[in-house]
Structure 1
Amino acid sequence: MHQLSFFSADLTPPQRADLGGVLAAHGQLARGELGCRLSILLDHPWRAHALQREFRVRDVDTESPAAAEGGEVLLRSKRLTDLEDLASTWTRGAVKSVPAGLSAGPGLLRCWLIAAGRPEEGGYVLGLDPRAPDTHEPLAGVLARAGVAGVLVGPRAGGPGLRIIGHRRRTRLAELIGTPPPEAPAGAFPDVDY
């Protein structure tokens, strides 16, 4: 029988900082006169719809997901001054950077997994931003501190990403991220036998 963790994304209040999970993946921030915009190019429409819900519960309005080349989907927030805190913690100058002291809370992990998580035989991979290689090692440390240590994998192994293997780590990840969104296809979220 499965018992939810008290630290599950299903049980913790959503916070705007959780959207850092989109940046842990390959999301981008753009600053402008009217505020900041968070955007990400996703490989499947289900990810766009699920992330749109995650944005909405954190009071961040989005534009309608837009089809891009190759069947990808672009999800963008509206320009908001409310995203300035997220932008300032995730950038140094114009470069994406992992915030000092970042912890992988359930909401952040959920957003990251929806944006760039994928199952693979015997494990699960959380995708990383190929344009921000300096974020890879710090994000590996963030995951390890959350009890979900992963191994860095490069492009030859389907990365960049953090591969999470082992029953205990996959169980911990599944507990933290909570219930799969209704749009997610079967097997898209960590499947752990309890």
Structure 2
Amino acid sequence: MSLSGIGDTPKAEPPPALFPAPEADAPTPARRRGGPARNGPSSPGDDAGRQLVFFGAEAAEPAVADLAGLLAGPGEVVRMGGTARLSVQVDAAWRVHVLVAELAARGLAASWEPAEGERHVVRTSYTRVLKPLAVAWLHGPSKRPPATFHLTGRRLRLWLAAAGTPEPPDGFRLRLGADEQECWEPIGVALAAAGLAGELLGPGEGGPAYRITGRRRLARLAELVGAPPPAAPPTTWPPPPNSPHPHPHPHPHARVDHGVVVGMYCPFGAKTPTTSP
């Protein structure tokens, strides 16, 4: 079922370079030879914290490269000739609305269909625009992050929208692809580089997923991903740093039923139904 009227066109321009590696900061010693001492000590963690704002979700315009965040989670990409298609299975209707809107913001048509276990599959059309993403992530039939993969705020926002779950009071779980063990370690490295080092949970522990815990890390996650989308129940999103209400009440005119927002105006001109997008 299509949720967007935006389609791929033959004249679509290719996206910019997909995976620009962040420039490494030049190491600065505590005291330069023959020079004055620095005012205070600095640690890699402090430097990472100061840099996070530049990688937040609101720091750049939406780009096709952001969809790498879906592939860091349970998203899949397949190729067909000179085109590719991206899909992801989600567990709640609000995620469908958020992802379709995010894909439309990047000029990509999207559709959804119900799946087993009250789940839904969101997928794009086959398009040349996604081919570079597929080339970077596919090694034969297997999905694996490219060597330069890193996580920005927009990539994390998409991952969280597709497969993020809060674990009160100070935790958040980001689900991974079930049969993609080769991805898990490098994605964990990327999380740590973003200041979000997490614990890898195996399938027998409610995973595969990374669990991010601690108020400081949760505050960083909230800063990176930005405010919750309109369709997302507030309790499903990381609370803003220093928020007096870690789990705010939902919209006064909405009801949350098993993770689905009921009776709330959605971006596509219709109210969200109770059991499907």
TM range (shorter): over 0.9
Note if contact 1:34-1:79 (Cα within 8 Å) is conserved in structure 2: no
Whole-angstrom CA distance in 1 between matches of 2:164 and 2:63: 20
Aligned 1:24-43 pairs, distance under 5 A: 24-33=72-81, 35-43=83-91
1:57-87 Cα shifts (integer Å, max 9, x gaps):
1122112x21222211111101001100100
Moved over 3 A (4+): 4-7
**In the alignment, what sits opposite 1:72?**
119
Indicate whether 1:107 and 2:147 are aligned: no
Please, what TM-score do these two structures have when normalized by structure 2? 0.66
Question: What fraction of aligned residue pairs are identical, expressed as a percent?
Answer: 41
Indicate whether 1:61 and 2:109 are aligned: yes
Structure 1 gap segments, 5+ residues each: none
Note if contact 1:19-1:111 (Cα within 8 Å) is conserved in structure 2: yes
What SS does structure 2 have at the residue aligned with 1:130? coil
**In the alignment, what sits opposite 2:211?**
163
Whole-angstrom CA distance in 2 between matches of 1:161 and 1:72: 18
Q: Please tell me the residue identity of whatever aligns with 2:128.
A: T
**In the alignment, what sits opposite 1:50?**
98
Note if contact 1:150-1:165 (Cα within 8 Å) is conserved in structure 2: yes
Shift of 1:35: 1.5
Whole-angstrom CA distance in 1 between matches of 2:55 and 2:144: 26
1:130-179 Cα shifts (integer Å, max 9, x gaps):
11011001000000001111111112321111110111111111000011
Q: Please tell me the residue identity of whatever aligns with 1:10.
A: E
What SS does structure 1 have at the residue aligned with 2:107? coil
Shift of 1:12: 1.9
Q: Between Structure 1 and Structure 2, which shows a larger proportion of helix residues?
A: 1
Q: Relative contact order (C-alpha < 8 Å, sep 6+): which is higher?
A: 1
Structure 2 gap segments, 5+ residues each: 1-51, 243-277
**Higher mean C-alpha deviation, range 5-14 or range 74-83:** 5-14
What SS does structure 2 have at the residue aligned with 1:70? coil
Corresponding residue to 2:66 among 18, 26, 38? 18
